[in-house]
Amino acid sequence: MSRPRGSVLRDRVDPVGPIGNFVKRVLTSHRPRWSYDEAAEAITRQAENDGERNARFDRYNIRAWLLGSEPRKKNWKWITRAWNITIEDLAAVIDEHRTWKSRQLHAPTGSGTHPDSEPSSGTDHNDVPDGPPRADLFPPPILDGQPVTISAASPPYYVWDMRRRQFVRVAGMGLLLSAFPSLPLRLWESDPSDMQRFTPNSDPIESYWQILQQCWQLCNSGQLETVDRLIQSFLPDVLRNATDKPVSAALAAQSLRLLSVVRTHELRLHEKIALNQQGVEYARHTDDASTLVAALTELAVAFKYADQPHNSFAAYTEALIHADKASPLVRSRVYAAAAASYAQRSLTREAAKLMSRAHNAFPADPTQEPDWLLADYGVWLLAFYEGQARMFAGDHPNALAAFTSYDEHPTANLAPERNRLEILNQRARVAILTDDPDTFAICLHDSLTRSALIRSRKRMNEAMAIYKYESPRTWQSHPEVQAINDLIQGHTLNGPVSQ
């Protein structure tokens, strides 16, 4: 007798909607692959650690989420800790799922197949290949119904398929020019004292490079709106020749990458992805591996923030292919970032190897690297990724030490505030895992107040979500933790929290 599709008699169901697909990715990316019971037991353990003896999760919870039910908000912190994901990731998926459900209510009746559902592979939960874990164990993405693989010789699936790539060649310029209207360039209206003096050059491209360098300084000082206006003022002119001249293509790729950083802190993550995709396209027109690897690495970060872990991992995979030809600083970053991505998927052996390569590649004197590289990567991000990798691997004491390991480095003073705040937020997470409310309160209070100063909605969103959804309820009576609640309730901060 055959079992009905989606019946409780089956141990597998096909995922429904963004939530279902998200849960499936969590199950399949764990090594060894999680069964429904194992994924549920991990959540129960986290609830018990918080003293919730009556909170029990089983396979039916996992099945319900796979079929599109939303997890209750009170369970979010246990789910995220058990599955090594962030509150922001889960909140973004739930928000996307609600939007998707709203669209379905107005969608025409089709064949009955759910548009966002994925077919079951029919394999057993514990069917794991022998041998050490490898990156190619992850299910490949699907494009036009076919699995897509990545190689150095083929364009990646996440930029555009060939039909779209042809369209970009013909019409993409018009779209981008309409998206970036010409604005008056008044660099000197907001000239901080620490900026280098801008000297106009007879070559427009060289002048734009100088402006872009100043924009990195502005970005790192928290002047995001100014950076946005400046880049949009010259980018249309750069794009006119970007596919024909490698130097223009490199400038376009770097400008789009910086603009995507601005979008990160405005929480406009879909725009960030689009900008990074276009940046990768232009980087392919250059002969500079550093520009391409930097563009791919930023695209991987964009996908990570937008809760697309497979796309993020794939972008890192391609970046690693070209890493050997990139500058030491860029090579070190992609090794370190990929190590954290591997560690999050329990590929600890590969993560350790990549982190070792990151340290070996890091230059003895990073100040000798080009300014546009040093402005976006330094010893502080090496510390950040190592801390993340150790945290994902469960090595919490050493994770905390790693996050603060850059403090004594000669270039530590160059760390942008946006990166310092990201490290503070991760230290707060480790404090939760090590039951240290004092460190938690110090890190989160600093992060919240300083995020407001640089107007980073992204960093503030991270900090407030950690406080609201990840911190133990038993800490609410702690005086220092209560001060954070008072700070939030006093409306001294602005910026929404993902719900």
pLDDT, one tens digit per residue, over 306-329 is: 888 888 988 999 999 999 999 999
Other Cβ atoms less than 10 A from the Cβ of 476: the count is 12
pLDDT: which is higher, 384 or 57: 384
The pLDDT of residue 28: 85
* Selection from 72, 141, 76, 474 nearest residue 314 by Cα: 141
CATH fold for domain 17-102: 434 Repressor (Amino-terminal Domain) (1.10.260)
The pLDDT of residue 488: 78
Beta bridge partners of 146: 143
The alpha carbon of 428 is separated from its chain's Cα centroid by a whole number of angstroms, namely 18
* Selection from 139, 99, 135 nearest residue 119 by Cα: 139
**Res 499 pLDDT > 50:** no
**Res 475 pLDDT > 50:** yes
**Res 260 pLDDT > 80:** yes
pLDDT: which is higher, 171 or 61: 61
Mean pLDDT of the region 6-27: 72
**Res 192 pLDDT > 50:** no
CA distance linking residue 276 with residue 303, whole number of Å: 10
Mean pLDDT of the region 363-374: 84
The pLDDT of residue 421: 95
Whose tokens are 């993902």? That residue is 498
pLDDT, one tens digit per residue, over 174-184 is: 433 443 443 33
Q: ω into residue 236 within 30 of 0, thus cis?
A: no
The pLDDT of residue 126: 32
The pLDDT of residue 259: 95
CA distance linking residue 411 with residue 392, whole number of Å: 27
The pLDDT of residue 187: 38
The domains of the chain are located at 17-102, 149-321
Mean pLDDT of the region 118-128: 33
CA distance linking residue 453 with residue 118, whole number of Å: 44
* Selection from 104, 97, 54, 92 nearest residue 75 by Cα: 54
The pLDDT of residue 129: 30
Give the pLDDT band (50/70/90) at residue 105.
low
The pLDDT of residue 390: 94
The pLDDT of residue 477: 85
Q: What is the DSSP letter of 141?
A: P
pLDDT, one tens digit per residue, over 128-174 is: 233 333 333 333 333 334 443 433 333 333 333 333 333 333 343 44
Enclosing H/E stretch for 311: helix 309-322
The pLDDT of residue 490: 59
Q: Is 318 exposed, middle or buried (0-12, 13-18, 19+ CB in 10 A)?
A: buried
Give the pLDDT band (50/70/90) at residue 202.
low
Mean residue pLDDT across the chain: 77
CA distance linking residue 77 with residue 85, whole number of Å: 10
Question: Rounded to the nearest 5°, which phi and psi values hold at 376?
Answer: -115, -5
What are the angstrom distances between the C-alpha of 9 and each of 59, 67, 114, 117? Answer: 12, 14, 21, 20
Selection from 59-68, 80-89, 415-424 with the highest mean pLDDT: 415-424
Structure tokens at 307: 């809760």
Other Cβ atoms less than 10 A from the Cβ of 8: the count is 11
CA distance linking residue 189 with residue 296, whole number of Å: 33
Give the pLDDT band (50/70/90) at residue 445.
very high
The pLDDT of residue 151: 36
**Res 193 pLDDT > 60:** no
The pLDDT of residue 495: 44
Q: What is this structure's pTM?
A: 0.63
DSSP 392-459: HTT-HHHHHHHHTTTTTSTTGGG--HHHHHHHHHHHHHHHHHTT-HHHHHHHHHHHHHHHHHHT-HHH
Q: What is the dihedral of CA 220, 381, 81, 433, to 10 degrees?
A: -100
Name the percent of the chain lying above pLDDT 90. Answer: 35
The pLDDT of residue 481: 86
Strand runs labelled E in 214-260: none
CA distance linking residue 184 with residue 74, whole number of Å: 49
Distance between the two ends of the chain, CA-based, in angstroms? Answer: 44
**Res 360 pLDDT > 90:** yes
The alpha carbon of 364 is separated from its chain's Cα centroid by a whole number of angstroms, namely 28
* Selection from 480, 494, 261, 348 nearest residue 30 by Cα: 348
